[in-house]
Structure 1
Amino acid sequence: MSTPTTHASFSLERRLNAPPSRVFRAFSEHASKKKWFAGPPEWNQGESSLDFRVGGRETDVGGPVGGFVSTMHAVYHDIVENERIIYTYEMLLDGERMSVSLSTLELEPDGDGTLLTLTEQGAFFTGTAARDAAQVEGRKEGTNGLLDALKAYVEGS
């Protein structure tokens, strides 16, 4: 095998002071999602689309000014309003596929708020096991950052 594959999974939780319906809308409405699902402020935003339905697709492209281009293509496989979203996505760096993942997002009522659990199972292939391991840690860190941005958005809306 010329390019090694690293399989990894992780789960992240957030307790959000917002009802599941508000959290679900933050994922399902493009205008809402763009307010929290983004790269750092210094990044250029490229193509962005969201067709939120079973079989629908999402694309998000961006990257630092003068730097690399990160592309995410997702397909939605299962959606239960206010409860669950299951999707697959691939990540490309400068047009080269770096990973393919299956993500499950679960929303459970928690008093007046929501317990969000995100589980990701991925195949990472960047050329070496060491680079794949770094990519897995980077993905987890980036996903944590996005969930922090989601929390700020839904609790501030």
Structure 2
Amino acid sequence: MTDVFTKHTTFTLERRYPAPPAKVFAAWSDPAAKAAWFATPGGEHSLDFRVGGQEVNAARGLVFTAEYHDIVPGERIVYSGTMRSPAGIITTISVTTIELESDGDGTHLVLTEQGTFLDGHEDPSWRVQGTGDWLDQLGAHVAG
């Protein structure tokens, strides 16, 4: 018998980047640019950035798959995603909203994620840390 349970969480992360919203959006929507800051070195990454399109980021046996549901160029991105373990078990299911606003000569980014964490395979604090890390990588990418 397995231990079956769910944990739900919502978190919001904010960043300010020294680049206009169009540049931050381009770093998210262009496959090569997105791979530069989001993909794990040595892993596999693909991006079909359109409503109904998918993104796959696979490394160290973990596979993140997202489907894009809403895209407003330069302003908003909404996607749902699943994370699978090396054994193929779905560990999390989430809905993420990215909001971009002009902030002087830069961009204020607000990311809100609503997650369902299944059977203790992933802890919400790990997701908050990992998401924050790749938002920092996005910042370094658009600043460079």
Fold in common (TM above 0.5): yes
Identity within the alignment, %: 47
What does 1:1-40 correspond to in 2, within 5 Å?
Answer: 3-39=4-40
- 1:99 equivalent to 2:92? Answer yes
What does 1:68-79 correspond to in 2, within 5 Å?
Answer: 69-79=61-71
Tell me what 1:119 maps to: 112
- Residue 91 of structure 1 aligns with an amino acid whose one-letter code is M
- Taking the aligned partners of 2:81 and 2:91, their CA distance within structure 1 comes to 11
Of the three residues 144, 151, 157, the one matched with 2:132 is 144
- Residue 116 of structure 1 aligns with an amino acid whose one-letter code is L
Q: CA deviation at 1:54?
A: 0.6
Aligned residue pair count: 142
| Gaps in structure 2 of 5+ consecutive residues | none
Tell me what 1:56 maps to: 53
- Taking the aligned partners of 2:57 and 2:134, their CA distance within structure 1 comes to 14
- Taking the aligned partners of 1:11 and 1:26, their CA distance within structure 2 comes to 20
Q: TM-score, normalised by structure 1?
A: 0.86
Q: CA deviation at 1:108?
A: 0.2
Tell me what 1:81 maps to: 73
- Taking the aligned partners of 1:58 and 1:148, their CA distance within structure 2 comes to 20
Q: CA deviation at 1:96?
A: 1.1
Q: CA deviation at 1:34?
A: 0.7
Tell me what 1:108 maps to: 101
Q: CA deviation at 1:2?
A: 5.2
- Taking the aligned partners of 1:25 and 1:154, their CA distance within structure 2 comes to 9
Q: What's the RMSD between the two structures over aligned residues?
A: 1.4
- Taking the aligned partners of 1:38 and 1:79, their CA distance within structure 2 comes to 21
Query: Per-residue CA shift, 1:38-95, capped at 9, x if unaligned?
Result: 33x5xx313x2111111111111112xxxxx110110000000000000000001111
Q: TM-score, normalised by structure 2?
A: 0.94
| Runs of 4+ with deviation above 3 angstroms | none
